[in-house]
Structure 1
Amino acid sequence: MSDSNEVVDFFEIESSANAARASLLPEKSKARYERTYTYFKEWCNSKNVKTINETVLLAYFNDRASNLTSPTSLWSEYSMLKLTLCANENLDISKFKQVISFLKRKNDGYIPKKANIFTKEEITRFLCDAPDHAFLLMKVAMVLGVAGACLAGPMNFII
């Protein structure tokens, strides 16, 4: 094989690999993943970081911990960086045990907010007592939502 054929083959392979890398990110949240990766790269540039390693990521997440409101946000950012760094830099950060330990320590004592859930009595009272002329659409939506949830799986909820 001649050198020119090897060059063409290399560019074809590189092009195919780049297309595969682009498909690694989930389509629905691709922009968010890329934004997180860009923010990380900008942070690296501002700190004159040339090589990404465990120490760099530990410092980055320590900085981010002061800006993000919950440990779940840190874990979310870690997850996005794990995939984008793997795709763009061929770096597997899941092996960085100190980073994972740091994120786990940030979870200590964290109590997630729970969504308020209406009781069976509150739903029944709303359906029976709320005036139809003002709340008919909400009542229909609630009944359809409950019926849909009942069809989707077993529930101990019957009106």
Structure 2
Amino acid sequence: MNNCESEEIVEAANIAISNLLPTKSRSLYDIAYNRFKKWCAEKNVQVYSENILLAYFSENAKNYKSSTLWAQYSMVNVDDKEFLMIKVGLILGIAGACRTDELVNLTVDDIEDVGSSLIVKIPNTKTKIPRIFVVIMWKYA
């Protein structure tokens, strides 16, 4: 908890986090997260950033070659001419925590280009609750 967060906010966030992960894969997420936290403690990392994540993944590549986070990290420097559609699918899937069928059913009408970011609407979800998320296009802005 930092100075700007009350105990009530932290507790609400912890409850939300505990409900985000699928039960059957929670242990894998916990293992990966604890590995990251241990690395941060060893490096005396107190504030997380994109650079921290990139450094962690590059130092621990052997542990993440099959993960979606490694896939996102490794796709940053590949040629857009050859891999742009794969990159777009990967970014949308990760940023929106999309299931395969949600990506397959996504249409151009579900994506709004607002300049340096995209607003993506997933109207048909497994939970029957439409979802909206934003993808910031920092590389292309």
**RCO greater where, 1 or 2, for CA within 8 Å and sep 6 or more?**
1
Q: Relative to total residues, which structure has the larger helix share, 1 or 2?
A: 1
TM-score bin, normalised by smaller chain: 0.3 to 0.5
Which protein has the larger Cα radius of gyration, Structure 1 or Structure 2?
1
TM-score computed with the length of structure 1 as normaliser: 0.38
Higher share of residues assigned strand:
2
